[in-house]
Chains A and B, each alone.
Chain A
Amino acid sequence: MNSIKIYFISLFLILQCSIISAQQVKKAENGIFLLKNGTIHTVTKGTFVGDVLIKDGIISDISNSITADGNTKIIDCTGKHIYPGLIDSGSRLGLVEIDAVSVTNDFNEHGDFVPHMKALTAVNPNAVAIPVTRVNGVTTVFAKPEGSTFPGTGALIDLFGYNPDQMSCGSERVLMRFPSTGKRGRWDRRSDEDVKKDAEKALKNINEIWESALGYMKIDSAAKADNQKWMKNNPQMDALLPIVKGEQPLFIEVNSKSDIESALEWVADKKMKAVFMGVAEGWRVADKIAKAKIPVIVGPILSVPRRDNDRFDAAYTNPSKMAKAGVKVAIRTDNAENTRNLPFNAGFAAAYGMGTEEALKAVTINPAEIFGVSNKYGSIEKGKVANIIVSTGDPFETKTVIEKLFIRGWNIPLESRQTLLYDEFLERSPGTK
Chain B
Amino acid sequence: MYKYLIICSLFLPRFVNTQNVLIKNGTVLTVTKGTLQNTDILVVNGKISKIDKNILAPQGSNVIDATGLHIMPGIIDAHSHIALDVVNEATNPVTAEVNVGDALDPLDVSIYRALAGGVTISHAMHGSANAIGGQCETIKHRYGTTNPDDLRMVGAPRTIKFALGENPIRTHGEGSKIMPNTRMGVEQVFRNAFTDAQLYMKDWDDFKKGIKKSSPEYNLRHETMADILKGNILIHCHSYRADEILMLMKVLKDFGVNKICFQHVNEGFKVAPELAAFGASASVFADWWAYKFEVYYSTAYNAAILTRNGVVTSINSDSEELIRHLYHEAAKTQRYGDLTDEEALALITINPAKQLGIDQNVGSIEVGKDADIVLFKGHPLSVYAIPQLTLVDGQVRFDINKDPDDVRVDVNPNEKYTTFFETDRAHHENNGCLRGIAEMLMEESYAKYMRFKYSKNHSH
Look across to chain A and name the residue whose beta carbon is closest to the beta carbon of B383: A347
Q: How far is the CB of B414 from chain A (nearest CB, A)?
A: 11
Which residue, B269, B292, B420, B442, has most C-beta atoms of chain A within 10 A?
A: B420
Are A399 and B381 in touch, CB under 8 angstroms? yes
Q: Number of A residues contacting the other chain (C-beta, 8 Å)?
A: 70
Q: How far is the CB of B304 from chain A (nearest CB, A)?
A: 7
Given contacts A347-B383, A398-B381, A418-B301, contact A100 B292 (CB under 8 A): yes
Give the interface segment out of A57-65, A236-244, A371-379, A422-430.
Answer: A422-430
Q: How far is the CB of B373 from chain A (nearest CB, A)?
A: 19
Are B273 and A428 in touch, CB under 8 angstroms? yes
Task: Give residues of chain A (303-331) contacting chain B, Cβ–Cβ below 8 Å.
Answer: 303-313
Pick the residue among A192, A352, A425 that contacts B269 (CB under 8 A): A425
- Measured in the bound complex, the distance between the Cα atoms of B301 and A419 in whole Å is 7
Look across to chain B and name the residue whose beta carbon is closest to the beta carbon of A423: B301
Residue-wise interface mask of B (435-449) relative to A, using a CB-CB cutoff of 8 A (1 in contact, 0 not): 000110010010001
Are A399 and B430 in touch, CB under 8 angstroms? no
Are A302 and B438 in touch, CB under 8 angstroms? no
Residues of B within 8 Å of A338, CB to CB, are: 287-289
Give the interface segment out of A68-76, A180-188, A285-293.
Answer: A180-188
Cβ of A421 under 8 Å from chain B: yes
Are A99 and B453 in touch, CB under 8 angstroms? yes
Task: Give residues of chain A (139-194) contacting chain B, Cβ–Cβ below 8 Å.
Answer: 147, 180-187, 192
Which residue, A1, A302, A304, A350, has most C-beta atoms of chain B within 10 A?
A: A304
Look across to chain A and name the residue whose beta carbon is closest to the beta carbon of B274: A432
Residues of A within 8 Å of B453, CB to CB, are: 99-100, 102
Residues of B within 8 Å of A312, CB to CB, are: 112-113, 116, 324, 407
Residue-wise interface mask of A (377-406) relative to B, using a CB-CB cutoff of 8 A (1 in contact, 0 not): 000000000000000000011111100000
- Measured in the bound complex, the distance between the Cα atoms of B195 and A159 in whole Å is 54
Residues of A within 8 Å of B425, CB to CB, are: 185-186, 304, 306
Residues of B within 8 Å of A185, CB to CB, are: 421-423, 425, 428-430, 455
Given contacts A336-B290, A401-B335, contact A280 B424 (CB under 8 A): yes
Cβ of B8 under 8 Å from chain A: no
Pick the residue among A129, A306, A422 that contacts B305 (CB under 8 A): A422
Are A307 and B420 in touch, CB under 8 angstroms? yes
Q: How far is the CB of A291 from chain B (nearest CB, A)?
A: 22
Residues of B within 8 Å of A182, CB to CB, are: 420-422
Number of A-B contacts (CB under 8 A): 193
Given contacts A337-B291, A352-B386, A398-B381, contact A422 B455 (CB under 8 A): no
Are B292 and A99 in touch, CB under 8 angstroms? yes
Residues of A within 8 Å of B172, CB to CB, are: none
Are A432 and B300 in touch, CB under 8 angstroms? no
Residue-wise interface mask of B (377-421) relative to A, using a CB-CB cutoff of 8 A (1 in contact, 0 not): 010011111100000000000000000011110000000101111
Residues of B within 8 Å of A307, CB to CB, are: 419-421
- Measured in the bound complex, the distance between the Cα atoms of B297 and A195 in whole Å is 41
Pick the residue among B291, B309, B407, B418 that contacts A99 (CB under 8 A): B291
- Measured in the bound complex, the distance between the Cα atoms of B336 and A338 in whole Å is 14
Given contacts A303-B426, A417-B299, contact A183 B421 (CB under 8 A): yes
Residues of A within 8 Å of B273, CB to CB, are: 428, 431-432
Are B274 and A351 in touch, CB under 8 angstroms? no
Are B420 and A281 in touch, CB under 8 angstroms? yes
Are A340 and B426 in touch, CB under 8 angstroms? no
Given contacts A187-B439, A398-B332, A401-B335, contact A306 B420 (CB under 8 A): yes
Pick the residue among A108, A347, A418 that contacts B298 (CB under 8 A): A418
Are B334 and A398 in touch, CB under 8 angstroms? yes
Cβ of A411 under 8 Å from chain B: no
Cβ of B2 under 8 Å from chain A: no
- Measured in the bound complex, the distance between the Cα atoms of B297 and A253 in whole Å is 33
Are B383 and A101 in touch, CB under 8 angstroms? no
Are B296 and A98 in touch, CB under 8 angstroms? yes
Cβ of A256 under 8 Å from chain B: yes
Given contacts A398-B331, A418-B301, contact A350 B384 (CB under 8 A): yes
Cβ of B21 under 8 Å from chain A: no
Residue-wise interface mask of B (323-366) relative to A, using a CB-CB cutoff of 8 A (1 in contact, 0 not): 01100100110111100000000000000000000000000000
Are B332 and A184 in touch, CB under 8 angstroms? no
Are B421 and A398 in touch, CB under 8 angstroms? no
Residue-wise interface mask of A (328-363) relative to B, using a CB-CB cutoff of 8 A (1 in contact, 0 not): 000000001110110010011011100000000000
Residues of A within 8 Å of B301, CB to CB, are: 418-419, 421-422, 426
Residues of B within 8 Å of A313, CB to CB, are: 116
Are B455 and A256 in touch, CB under 8 angstroms? no
Pick the residue among A98, A186, A347, A425 that contacts B291 (CB under 8 A): A98
Cβ of B229 under 8 Å from chain A: no
Residues of B within 8 Å of A89, CB to CB, are: none
Cβ of B57 under 8 Å from chain A: no
Cβ of B158 under 8 Å from chain A: no
Residue-wise interface mask of A (258-275) relative to B, using a CB-CB cutoff of 8 A (1 in contact, 0 not): 100000000000000000
Pick the residue among A102, A303, A351 that contacts B424 (CB under 8 A): A303
Are A348 and B383 in touch, CB under 8 angstroms? yes
Cβ of A97 under 8 Å from chain B: yes
Task: Give residues of chain B (87-123) contacting chain A, Cβ–Cβ below 8 Å.
Answer: 109-110, 112-113, 116
Q: How far is the CB of A272 from chain B (nearest CB, A)?
A: 23
Cβ of A300 under 8 Å from chain B: yes
Cβ of A13 under 8 Å from chain B: no
Are A98 and B324 in touch, CB under 8 angstroms? no
Are A309 and B406 in touch, CB under 8 angstroms? yes
- Measured in the bound complex, the distance between the Cα atoms of B360 and A24 in whole Å is 47
Are A398 and B328 in touch, CB under 8 angstroms? yes
- Measured in the bound complex, the distance between the Cα atoms of B113 and A312 in whole Å is 6
Are B287 and A341 in touch, CB under 8 angstroms? yes
- Given pairs A181-B420, A255-B422, A337-B290, 20 additional interface contacts (CB within 8 A): A128-B290, A136-B335, A182-B422, A186-B425, A187-B451, A256-B420, A280-B424, A306-B424, A306-B425, A307-B419, A311-B405, A312-B324, A312-B407, A337-B289, A348-B328, A398-B331, A399-B381, A417-B299, A425-B269, A425-B272
Top-3 shortest CB links A-B: A347-B383, A337-B290, A422-B301
A contacts, CB < 8 Å to B: 1, 11, 15, 97-102, 108, 128-129, 136, 147, 180-187, 192, 255-258, 280-281, 300, 302-313, 336-338, 340-341, 344, 347-348, 350-352, 396-401, 417-419, 421-422, 425-428, 431-432
Q: List 29 A-B contacts (CB under 8 A).
A: A99-B453, A99-B457, A181-B418, A181-B420, A183-B419, A183-B421, A185-B423, A187-B442, A192-B418, A255-B422, A281-B420, A304-B424, A304-B426, A306-B425, A307-B419, A312-B324, A338-B287, A344-B383, A348-B325, A348-B328, A351-B378, A397-B382, A398-B335, A400-B335, A418-B300, A419-B301, A421-B297, A422-B269, A428-B273
